[in-house]
Structure 1
Amino acid sequence: MREQKLSYYINKASELNNQSFDQKIRIALLGSFTLNGLAETIQVKCAEKKIQCTTYVGNYNQYNQEILNPTSNLYKFNPEISFLLIDTRTLLMDLFHHSHSVSVEERRKLVDEKINKILSLATKFSQTTKSKLVLANFSIPTFSSYGIFENKTDFGFHRMLNEINTKISDALSNSDSVYVYDFAGFVTKFGEKNIFDYKQFFFGDMKISLDYIPYLASNLMSYVIGYMGISKKCIVLDLDNTLWGGIVGEDGFNGLKLGPEPPGNAFMEFQKVLLSLHQRGIILAINSKNNYDDAIKVIRDHPYMQLREDHFASLKINWNDKVSNMKDIANEINIGLDSIVFFDDDPVNREYMRINLPQVETIELPQDSSEFVNILKDLNEFSVLNITQEDQQRGKMYSEQRKRVELEKSTPDLEGFLKQLDLKISIKKANEFTIPRISQLTLKTNQFNLTTKRYQENDIKKFSQDTNYFIGCAQVEDKFGDNGITGVFIVYKENQKEWFLDTFLLSCRVMGREVERGILSHIINKAKEAGVEKIRAQFVPTSKNKPIEDFLPNCGFKKDADSWVYSIKSSFEIPSCLTVSAE
């Protein structure tokens, strides 16, 4: 996607002073070179996501001092995300140009020293602050004084940098506080001669061209999206001239452009990338004005379709308007409209969607279908800081969800439907396997969430190690399959007689099945065993969590000032359709 000029973002940033949003973030930018305009661009991009961003830009090439000094302005700023960009020239100093002037042994020793220094900086930073650290890896210049003989050299210039990048990435792969940004990949994507402008370098030690600062900011925003838990969950797709070329109602099954030859190969490649996103947990759905029988035959039977019926959580193939269909899709899948990205080749449909449902991210598509793939790949809307096992299984889970919906429609009442589901709730403790998912649910769950408190993995780890906290999650299964970990609770033990329900949430995937009562019964039973007399809770209303508004009073909690209180003496029964077990 083409970016605005840097001047646009600098001018826009000056207009943000009077704007205020519910979500806020503090971002620090540290670098070994001039980072003009990066802070302003990130501020504007955050504002576009309804996030108020305050930035701290470290002094020129002072990142080492700022990280090592516990009283530095960096730590006083108390960032939530910090980006550290060290360029290859600064890293290697004189050896950037003369790496072959020292022995192989000395080069290996230097590489180990650089790796250890960077990792020790990351460790010091993580020990001093709660901020996430995003460390850029190192671009590998195409030039070598050894020319075509470079790859024949024992531990040459390029190998040195590859080793540094690989070992740093490996060392930090399991860290939940430090991430490695692929700056080398960024340079590869846009081209070394575009990113590094000698004129700007000589003029002001700018090692990223001003023209590409907005593209860098867009890449870094992926971490903001993941940290804030605002990533999109679902891609909704048109069919004709979007998933395949041509119009099935006019061109017929055999006349569609879809296959290994152009122009059908562009649509085939687009589907392959969509399938890869589906496999990592992005929900797919269809919103198409079409004859259902014609369209579903293509999806089921066309030899070059990469996406089949089971890959879609919802199929709205009818002659209804697309806005109504989109609302139905959101209701059926049980997600917010602001979790949806919409692809449609028709500019009229796109404009209609933008006007009526601005919450939906409607993507601008060109007429040239060969550009669809790059537009999809350039989206950072699906960025998450951790991909869990539940994410990878989400496609299968939503395919099973369609079967549940069909059963519900065929059952005359809710009680009968729930009994047929054979629901089993397994309460699990917070441990190294469940903590990433617990954190993810607190970051992403909006609808059935009492307080919408957001917790990073480090927060959950600390709670789990504190005896004053009682943390758990719920895995939900039924006869159609495993829904995965879909419920979370965090209880703070205020004293021996009273517990506080800090967090209680349920994924939209299992809403409306009485699962919340099963989880609450486990908490109440544990409280009884501990001799607790009452459980206190609060409902903090937001624009999205209305589905949980009546949960507390419906479960026997009584209003007490700004809290809700449950007396342990009260009896609490779970619905007969549930089976609850605990580790």
Structure 2
Amino acid sequence: MSTAVTTSTQERQGPLDRLRALQRAGRIAADYPAVPALLAELAQSEDAYAELARAGRLLVKQRAEDIAALHDGVRPAAVAVTGHGIVDALIPSLTAELARHGVPLTASVSDYDAWQRDLQDTGSDLYAPGTELALCLLDGQQIFDELPLPWNVEDATRALTGKLQLLDRLAAQYGEHGPGTLVLNTLPLLRSHTQQLVDHRSRTELAAAWHEFNAGLLRLAGRHPRLHVVDLGPIVAETGPVRDTRLAAYAKVHLGEAVLARYAREAAHLLRALRGRTKKVLVVDLDNTLWDGILGDDGPDGIAAATTYRGEAFHRFQRTVKQIGSQGVLLAVSSKNDQEPVLGVLRDHPDMVLREDDFVRVNANWQPKDGNLRDIAARLNLGVDSFVFADDSPFECGLVASSLPEVAVVRLDEEPALHVEKLLADGWFDTRELTAEDRLRAGQYRSEAGRQDLLESTGSMEEYLAALDVRVEVSGVRDVELARVAQITLRTNQFNLTTERLQQADVRARLDDGAHLVLAVRSRDRFGDNGVVGALFARREGTALVVDNLLLSCRVFARGIEQGTVATLLAHARATGATEVRASYRPTPKNHKVRDFWPSLGFRTAHESPEGALDFVHDLAELPEVPGHLGLTFDPAGA
């Protein structure tokens, strides 16, 4: 009887209560894999940011190193924080926001108003080895603290111009010496500042100069690859007051907790993108998600997504989904409906913004939705951890959240006007830069249907590959491909031999280093151009060529591209005087399928660590051949 009571009590507890129970029991480190699910529940609450901050205050008591020691694959984030005002309130929110993604935080917070010294001193925590994010929190008060008394618009404009020039120089220095990404932010302009000018013309001129400064600051991110600028404008518009006036006056807290909590979410999204954990697929429900009504009950004439009062909200949601899909996010459907009526609506219903061709997969059936998501993932050759699932049904959301915890679940509700906000709240698809391949991705996945038809119509894999007419080009990375090659290192998980993640600045540094070889792998076939699908990083070390990493997109697996690339690389190594080629495999939860890749091409094992890391060597005596069905060109000097 007592057991039943305990279970009932646990079921009634909210996620914050359950987290407190873990903390009291000393189980947060041991049960850390369960923490993201608890925080996901908190993130859906009405007072989400405050609740997450409370959870963060519990989590900061647990050392990130202890968590990582207990769980394979958990890698803490080293974040250094500095600023003009007191920003300690950022840490609980940042701890919780990162923990939502399974990332423990190791943070260092600098002294009050030490931001300039920290950025100038390459020995500060911002420059410490392993630092992933260097957060430099700026606020408008630091401009006014520097003005003479009395001051005018010209004084403020000079101060803003000087500050922008200083930040430009400091960002350049960080780009040269910093290990991670420097994060700055735009400056809010407060009424208590503008109203110190009594004439409207001066206030207007000050506002114009202020906006020009912020625009210039945002543009700096385009000039410095290791710089990211958070625009506080949208955050302030959502939160209201920038600060508590009394805390600003007495405690030098120039950015309030509400602003810092939302800034923390932006910082966590950035780190998630930098680690290559951007989501790739949005799977949506249909009834009361994409349209108002239930197709099976109301029929095509009884649903709406434009022409009724509620229908307009669904119309706005469909427009947002289509906008996301136009930028490389793959769209799919999982709906409890019959397939043909659904396809009829997507093809012909006058209210629909989204059409059948916008989706790479439409699963309309009566199977459980967790199984449907697994089916979509298998057909796209992607992991479910790259999926976002949006549904208005609490049951379906709960089923997917419990059965597939790797899937990001967006819980919609009965108010369609809030669908867009809920979908966009967590920036699941955020990426540092959109590439040409991103915009073409949906079409490339849709062309897989033609390849699948060809495979099914041929008698063997050899026959299929010959008919596919695969053409591969392996050559130096072109400037326009820099972002794409960096993206491949960040987002490729399955065919990634060492999982070394590189930012654009890192790729550029290797391109500029004569000892390194950086190659892009491009492919096309009878169904279209796949663009840059892989990358190879190598370097000379004496008479050896050392392969640092080889990566290939899951879209082009099993076509011989990887074998052809390595065969030509080995031939090139021997022709240029190398006596051996070395390569490595570093195991992760997702790349186990490529563990035997190097041995399959004649490499012998030179060393194996207790953790399963393997080092290989090829003596270049007998070289593998390029698969006969490939048309391959290799030009390491070309770009």
Corresponding position: 1:405 with 2:455: no
Q: Which whole-Å deviations, capped at 9, do the CAs of 1:439-479 have from their partners, x for residues lacking one?
A: 11111111011111112222222222222221101111112
Work out whether residues 239 and 258 of structure 2, in 8 Å CA contact, stay in contact via their aligned partners in 1: no
Matches of 2:430 and 2:79, distance apart in 1? 17
How far is 1:212 from its partner?
A: 4.2
How far is 1:154 from its partner?
A: 8.8
1:458-469 to 2 correspondences below 5 Å: 458-469=505-516
Matches of 1:154 and 1:180, distance apart in 2? 26
Give the TM-score taking structure 1 as reference length.
0.93
Corresponding position: 1:331 with 2:381: no
1:363-442 to 2 correspondences below 5 Å: 363-442=410-489
1:452-491 to 2 correspondences below 5 Å: 452-491=499-538
SS at match of 2:360: strand
User: Match of 2:173?
Assistant: 124
Q: Which whole-Å deviations, capped at 9, do the CAs of 1:389-414 have from their partners, x for residues lacking one?
A: 21122122222223323333333322
SS at match of 1:434: helix
User: Match of 1:86?
Assistant: 138
How far is 1:299 from its partner?
A: 1.0
Work out whether residues 83 and 136 of structure 1, in 8 Å CA contact, stay in contact via their aligned partners in 2: no
How far is 1:579 from its partner?
A: 1.0
Q: Which whole-Å deviations, capped at 9, do the CAs of 1:90-121 have from their partners, x for residues lacking one?
A: 123265997xx4364x5543332222122222
Matches of 1:190 and 1:411, distance apart in 2? 60
User: Match of 1:517?
Assistant: 563
User: Match of 1:25?
Assistant: 77
Specify the code of the residue in structure 1 equivalent to 2:101: K
User: Match of 1:507?
Assistant: 553
Specify the code of the residue in structure 2 equivalent to 1:230: R
Corresponding position: 1:156 with 2:244: no
How far is 1:272 from its partner?
A: 0.9
SS at match of 1:477: strand
User: Match of 2:586?
Assistant: 540
Corresponding position: 1:145 with 2:212: no
Q: Which whole-Å deviations, capped at 9, do the CAs of 1:143-197 have from their partners, x for residues lacking one?
A: 63389964x5596111111111112222331321111110122112322x2x322
User: Match of 2:331?
Assistant: 284
Matches of 1:94 and 1:258, distance apart in 2? 54
User: Match of 2:607?
Assistant: 561
Matches of 1:488 and 1:278, distance apart in 2? 25
Matches of 1:114 and 1:362, distance apart in 2? 42
How far is 1:54 from its partner?
A: 0.9
SS at match of 2:479: coil
Corresponding position: 1:188 with 2:230: no
Matches of 1:97 and 1:167, distance apart in 2? 26
Matches of 1:313 and 1:12, distance apart in 2? 40
Matches of 1:76 and 1:130, distance apart in 2? 7
User: Match of 2:22?
Assistant: none
User: Match of 2:220?
Assistant: 171
Specify the code of the residue in structure 2 equivalent to 1:60: Y
User: Match of 1:210?
Assistant: 257
Work out whether residues 58 and 74 of structure 1, in 8 Å CA contact, stay in contact via their aligned partners in 2: no
User: Match of 1:311?
Assistant: 358
User: Match of 1:46?
Assistant: 98
Q: 1:8 to 1:420 in 2, by over 3 A?
A: same
Matches of 2:422 and 2:507, distance apart in 1? 36
Matches of 2:492 and 2:446, distance apart in 1? 21
User: Match of 2:124?
Assistant: 72
Q: Which whole-Å deviations, capped at 9, do the CAs of 1:272-321 have from their partners, x for residues lacking one?
A: 11111111111111112211100001111112212222221222222222
Q: Which whole-Å deviations, capped at 9, do the CAs of 1:340-386 have from their partners, x for residues lacking one?
A: 11111111111111222111112222221211110112122222222
Work out whether residues 473 and 487 of structure 1, in 8 Å CA contact, stay in contact via their aligned partners in 2: yes
Work out whether residues 445 and 505 of structure 1, in 8 Å CA contact, stay in contact via their aligned partners in 2: yes
Work out whether residues 276 and 490 of structure 2, in 8 Å CA contact, stay in contact via their aligned partners in 1: yes
How far is 1:35 from its partner?
A: 1.0
Give the TM-score taking structure 2 as reference length.
0.85
Matches of 1:30 and 1:396, distance apart in 2? 44
Q: Which moved more, 1:182-191 or 1:562-571?
A: 562-571
Specify the code of the residue in structure 2 equivalent to 1:145: Q
Work out whether residues 28 and 81 of structure 1, in 8 Å CA contact, stay in contact via their aligned partners in 2: yes
Specify the code of the residue in structure 1 equivalent to 2:264: A
Percent identity over the alignment is 27
Specify the code of the residue in structure 2 equivalent to 1:420: A
CA RMSD of aligned residues (A): 2.3
Matches of 2:103 and 2:352, distance apart in 1? 39
Q: 1:241 to 1:412 in 2, by over 3 A?
A: farther
Corresponding position: 1:531 with 2:577: yes
How far is 1:129 from its partner?
A: 1.9
Q: Which whole-Å deviations, capped at 9, do the CAs of 1:65-85 have from their partners, x for residues lacking one?
A: 222233335434752211111
Specify the code of the residue in structure 1 equivalent to 2:435: T
Specify the code of the residue in structure 1 equivalent to 2:168: L
Q: Which moved more, 1:296-305 or 1:108-117?
A: 108-117
Specify the code of the residue in structure 2 equivalent to 1:187: V
Specify the code of the residue in structure 2 equivalent to 1:261: T
Q: 1:56 to 1:301 in 2, by over 3 A?
A: same
Matches of 1:380 and 1:67, distance apart in 2? 28
Matches of 2:246 and 2:148, distance apart in 1? 19
Work out whether residues 291 and 318 of structure 1, in 8 Å CA contact, stay in contact via their aligned partners in 2: yes
How far is 1:221 from its partner?
A: 1.1
Work out whether residues 36 and 210 of structure 1, in 8 Å CA contact, stay in contact via their aligned partners in 2: no
Matches of 1:171 and 1:553, distance apart in 2? 46
Q: 1:15 to 1:139 in 2, by over 3 A?
A: same
How many residue pairs get matched?
576
Q: 1:292 to 1:73 in 2, by over 3 A?
A: closer
Q: Which whole-Å deviations, capped at 9, do the CAs of 1:519-556 have from their partners, x for residues lacking one?
A: 21221221132122322222222210123223222222
Corresponding position: 1:110 with 2:156: no
Q: 1:204 to 1:296 in 2, by over 3 A?
A: same
Work out whether residues 283 and 333 of structure 2, in 8 Å CA contact, stay in contact via their aligned partners in 1: yes
Specify the code of the residue in structure 2 equivalent to 1:309: E
Matches of 2:624 and 2:123, distance apart in 1? 52
How far is 1:387 from its partner?
A: 1.7
Matches of 1:579 and 1:443, distance apart in 2? 28
Matches of 2:260 and 2:156, distance apart in 1? 32
Specify the code of the residue in structure 2 equivalent to 1:479: R
User: Match of 1:37?
Assistant: 89
Q: 1:249 to 1:528 in 2, by over 3 A?
A: same
Specify the code of the residue in structure 2 equivalent to 1:519: T
Matches of 1:97 and 1:275, distance apart in 2? 53
Matches of 1:282 and 1:167, distance apart in 2? 30
- Of the three residues 382, 387, 402, the one matched with 1:340 is 387
Specify the code of the residue in structure 2 equivalent to 1:23: R
How far is 1:270 from its partner?
A: 0.9
Q: 1:561 to 1:107 in 2, by over 3 A?
A: closer
Q: Which moved more, 1:364-373 or 1:400-409?
A: 400-409
User: Match of 2:397?
Assistant: 350
How far is 1:243 from its partner?
A: 1.3
Specify the code of the residue in structure 2 equivalent to 1:438: V
Matches of 1:149 and 1:327, distance apart in 2? 64
- Of the three residues 566, 577, 583, the one matched with 2:629 is 577
Instruction: List runs of 5+ in structure 2 lacking aligned partners.
Output: 1-43, 609-614
User: Match of 1:267?
Assistant: 314
Work out whether residues 470 and 524 of structure 2, in 8 Å CA contact, stay in contact via their aligned partners in 1: yes
Q: Which moved more, 1:127-136 or 1:428-437?
A: 428-437
Work out whether residues 54 and 92 of structure 2, in 8 Å CA contact, stay in contact via their aligned partners in 1: no
